[in-house]
Structure 1
Amino acid sequence: GLAAAGLLAIAAAVVLFDGRTPFPGLYALVPTVGTALVILFAAPGTLTHRLLSLRACVGIGLISYSMYLWHQPLFVFSRYLFGLPQGSYLFLALTVLTLLLAWITWRFIERPFRKKHFRVRTVLITAAAASIGILTLGVNLPKQIRPAFDALDLQTQWQGWTKCYPFGTREEAGGRCSILDDNAAPTSAIIGDSHAQHLAFGIREVFADTTENPIIFVSGGCFPVVTKGREIDGFMQCAQDFIDKSIAYAIEDQGIKQVVLSGYGVWELLRRRAHEPEHLDPAEIEQRQALLLEGLQETVGRLLASGKQVLLISDNPEMIHSPVHCSTRAAGWFGKCPLRLAREDVDRSLREMDQIIEKLKLSHPELHVHDPRAVFCDAEFCYSGTAAQSWYRDHDHLTPAGAVRLVEDAVGRPE
């Protein structure tokens, strides 16, 4: 019974643990204690012993070390070269290839070497020669492939993020971060989390040759609402009242005429990616909706009352798989690039935030709201880019090209 319990514990860890399982931690005891139970109690005659003594199980055990050595480069390089998500058909084929290569290695290298004896001098000379060869390759190979990787980075990374600290100025919300000109007075402000930050390149591109001088207040995970101490398990809280101070700064500066608010609303509200299973109960979601609406009402109300024009940019569509894979050379051989999602699925994933925004617009009809679905979607699908250009750098953040598209549509390119 103890041996069987151990085997079930190992199986449970394989089947039930995923990327959201806290690890390392107490969960690590499930497979490790299970393994200990099997080692201690799977004696001859037990069901577990008979199961693990099957020819297939013994065979996998014999080649398991070779499998371990082979699977890492096969899976890593295939993911890097072909950009396919885990779980694709290619990964199933790689599993079969791993088994085949492991058997070949075990049969023609591992077994023969176990029976041979080598002089220490031979081993040392061989190891030294191999090390020199690998080091030479490691030093020179990047010089050959670096240009191709740099070109890929230009398509997929944020690029052009001025000199601003990437996660905002938490310590001094009043320490403005200019996108264009440090020495000129600011004319507009962008406030929010990383979904405000990825707009920076687009703003710089669109307003480069104008008299506009936007400044930006961003801090990762800080949704653009004043908080006033409201909190549910960290909900709507931001270190050192960063958003509250940023809003106050924008209100007090009379030269700032427009304030743009942008944030990752789905994550703030549901604490999950848009297409992941629900893990909050409906009552808590409803409570969080009410609090988030209240925070937005107060934030927008304060800004409008101070005479500012307010633009709220709602959530952009979120991709299930990282679209950066489509920028790799071989991605198109095995997958559909650019990625696309059914429009109805995207609308469903944004339903709770849409409800908040509709109520917010009823209370503040002078509020301008821009929906990025107008840029990245048509009536049937939402897209990660075109065959020649990626608009996303990961599941939910935009590339420079995507930021330019969104900013041009949201605020227009000045004449």
Structure 2
Amino acid sequence: MSARPATPAGASSPRPAGKAAQSYRPDIDGLRALAVAAVVVFHAFPDALAGGFVGVDIFFAISGYLISQHIIETLDQNRFSLIDFYSRRIKRIYPALIIVLIASLAAGLVLMASGELARLARDALASVAFVANIYFYTTQDYFTQGASASALLHLWSLGVEEQYYIVWPVALLLLWKFTSRRVATLLILAAILLSLASSVYLSATHASAAFYLPVTRFWELLFGSTLAWVEFLAAHRRVAGQQPGAAHAALRNLAALAGLVLIAASLVLFDPKTVFPGWRAALPAGGATLVIAAGAQAWLNRRVLSLRPFVYIGLISYPLYLWHWPILVFVRLLSSGAPTTAMLLMAVVGALALSAMTFNFIEAPARFSTPARRYPLRVASALFAVMMGIGLSSYAISRDNGLPDRFPDASYGAHQEHWTFTDACKQAFPGSDFCIQPAPGRRNVVALLGDSHANHYYEGLQSALAGVDAHAGVLAVGSGNCPPFYGVDIHLGGYVKHCAALFDGVLDYVAKSNDIHTVILSSYAISSITGGFDYDAGGYIKLVATSAAADGQAAPPSRATANLDVYLAGLERTLGKLTAAGKSVVFVLDTPELDFDPNTCVRRPVQISVRSPCAVPRAKVEQRLEATQMRIRAVLAKFPAVKVFNPLPLLCDASNCYARQGAEFFYADRDHLSSDGSRYIGKWLLRDVEARNGT
């Protein structure tokens, strides 16, 4: 979501020479209220307003308009200063953000386990640097279950906005000084088209990049900026006597109505599974732009959006956006992931109260008090220094693995594995998400291939192997969601992940290697086959055989083939080539999935509820896996030399599959093992590796 701009509430419209600036527009604050209400309802009650996330796009258009008004006005008066501009931005953005960051980190220190706190600290550090959107692009999908535990995830939008305000003022200054108004207009329109085109393209090919990256979002802010530019040109022409007066009232009313209809349509028609942003973001961003363009005198703007309750919510919309999400995350955390409706309503009310106090006692004084007006650079410098202190503190917490000694269960998640790679390995196998070669002096003896469900075995397997042979090592290569098979790609939502481009080369390398004697194949098979994560209904993932599969005889990607059929064909093809190359193969069946987040089993100093037992019924796990594993085992039976490793009996008893036993947490999330779990399973996995090689 976009923050309110660095001007007094509802910045004035640009004024042509000789004309007084237009007055404050309460209807824009009313539009802000609509935007923030949509986001808050979506986050608190997603089923009630599945498209509420488009409130962010409304704010982008509003912010682009108001900030550009200020820049254009000061350029026209020959008093624009980049130092003054960024000083205003700091005074506008930092005060409320500082308070929320400090409060979130303080709550995390008291209530979060180390893995959670370390992630919060990394999120805070990225937010301080205003690169949260880029950081979350590499670590989080905004709409996944895991994202809901990130208390600062919503600050991705501040990153987009501040990156825009690094580029846009300089670009507008250059356009103003060195081009004609006509050329400037054409260049602005070209920028919108290029940014929109990148958004449409990446939304279809790489949805997470399209959601987070600035280049795919700038066009939404440019909608508002372009409106401010067009209004300036129109006002200038009117002063010069080149154009008649204001547009007809009926046209303004129609524009306001059309804009609100577009916004309402996006709220109703979109949901988290919608390919977004792409062209669809034009509905909320374009709708907001139309409402603003209609002017303060349009009937809907004057009679509805300018109502005092809407205006007040608009005034506190920035702190409300900052406060509501961390509060909801902590409420869910303390209620074991199952807050009641009453808890969520109280969280929203609490966010409103904190937002009002933040606006009245922190934000407004930092911007409008006498010291803030008299010494703007000093105030901005002091705020900047405080923010840097938060950044350093966040770095220290992250570096110390989230301070795991704060309370007995605080060590949960302290050493969870993350995507990692060595440079040489990454260069050898481009396209991999994790790629680790043995340290110098060790030889490759085992290849661990797959997706994140291979990566979570690496720590335990490498540790166990080092205890047996100090000179042996593991080559681990993989990519998220990719089965480690020849000729299989995967469609994730609206984009294609070219898994075969990675694994065709990796498997050929492994097959020809003289050092690697054992290949371990592991992936999140049940997810790839059913098309969903963690008992989800599915429909998100589609496996596709590449044109090079099955010795070049497979159907093209457009062929409608069931996921299971593609998976089994890829498995059989891969096992055939590896066994023909004389490799010992260990195939790993699925890790049991949890139907809850294991962090709900952490005993915290303050806790509304804690899950006990920390387990999922074994019958539920087996029901989920039974049908697909029967088909998988039928293919494996064709290769009697292949060892089948099943982690389920190691994590389950007759009744339950456990995320926690005693002080040890085996799971990092619903389907990935923790470091403890990896070390526990890794010892058993190594026994099968040794058994395949007669050691």
Fold equivalence (TM over 0.5): yes
Matched, 1:213 2:213: no
- Equivalent in 650, 660, 667 of residue 375 of structure 1: 650
Matched, 1:62 2:350: no
- Name the amino acid aligned to 1:32: A
**2: CA distance, partners of 1:41 / 1:125:** 37
- Equivalent in 338, 343, 346 of residue 93 of structure 1: 346
**1: CA distance, partners of 2:266 / 2:464:** 51
**Aligned residue pair count:** 405
- Name the amino acid aligned to 1:79: V
Partner of 1:30: 283
Instruction: Report the CA distance between 1:43 and its aligned residue.
Output: 7.7
Matched, 1:404 2:679: yes
**2: CA distance, partners of 1:111 / 1:345:** 54
Structure 2 counterpart SS, 1:218: strand
5 Å-filtered alignment, 1:140-155, equals 143=396, 147=400, 149=402, 151=404, 155=414
Structure 2 counterpart SS, 1:363: coil
Deviates more, 1:107-116 or 1:256-265: 107-116
Partner of 1:158: 417
Structure 1 counterpart SS, 2:664: coil
Deviates more, 1:58-67 or 1:245-254: 245-254
- Name the amino acid aligned to 1:265: A
- Name the amino acid aligned to 1:206: A
Give the conservation status (yes or no) of the 8 Å contact 2:453–2:523.
yes
- Name the amino acid aligned to 2:417: W
5 Å-filtered alignment, 1:212-231, equals 213-221=472-480, 222-227=482-487
Partner of 1:269: 529
Give the conservation status (yes or no) of the 8 Å contact 1:178–1:213.
no
5 Å-filtered alignment, 1:349-388, equals 349-350=624-625, 353-386=628-661, 388=663
Which digits, 9 at most, give the CA deviation of each residue in 1:228-248, with x for residues without a partner?
xx66769895354x4334334
Matched, 1:202 2:452: no
Matched, 1:288 2:563: yes
Change (3 A) 1:261 1:109: closer
- Name the amino acid aligned to 2:633: E
Change (3 A) 1:246 1:352: farther
- Name the amino acid aligned to 2:458: A
TM score, norm. by length of structure 1: 0.74
**2: CA distance, partners of 1:136 / 1:355:** 56
Structure 1 or 2: more helix by fraction: 2
How high is the sequence identity, in percent, across the aligned residues?
26
5 Å-filtered alignment, 1:41-52, equals none
Change (3 A) 1:63 1:50: closer
5 Å-filtered alignment, 1:217-256, equals 217-221=476-480, 222-227=482-487, 237-238=498-499, 240=501, 242-253=502-513, 256=516
Partner of 1:393: 668
Instruction: Report the CA distance between 1:28 and its aligned residue.
Output: 0.8
- Name the amino acid aligned to 1:194: S
5 Å-filtered alignment, 1:302-317, equals 302-317=577-592
Instruction: Report the CA distance between 1:259 and its aligned residue.
Output: 2.3
TM score, norm. by length of structure 2: 0.48
Give the conservation status (yes or no) of the 8 Å contact 1:194–1:219.
yes
Matched, 1:170 2:434: no
Instruction: Report the CA distance between 1:179 and its aligned residue.
Output: 3.8
Which digits, 9 at most, give the CA deviation of each residue in 1:121-168, with x for residues without a partner?
366655555555555565467657864615459634217979576868
**2: CA distance, partners of 1:69 / 1:160:** 34
Structure 1 counterpart SS, 2:562: helix
**1: CA distance, partners of 2:515 / 2:578:** 14
**2: CA distance, partners of 1:144 / 1:252:** 45
**2: CA distance, partners of 1:27 / 1:311:** 46
Give the conservation status (yes or no) of the 8 Å contact 1:289–1:352.
no
Change (3 A) 1:74 1:45: closer
Partner of 1:260: 520
Change (3 A) 1:118 1:24: same
Partner of 2:611: 336
Instruction: Report the CA distance between 1:262 and its aligned residue.
Output: 0.9
Change (3 A) 1:36 1:352: farther
Deviates more, 1:373-382 or 1:94-103: 373-382
Gaps of 5+ in 2: 1-253, 405-410, 544-558
Give the conservation status (yes or no) of the 8 Å contact 2:259–2:287.
yes
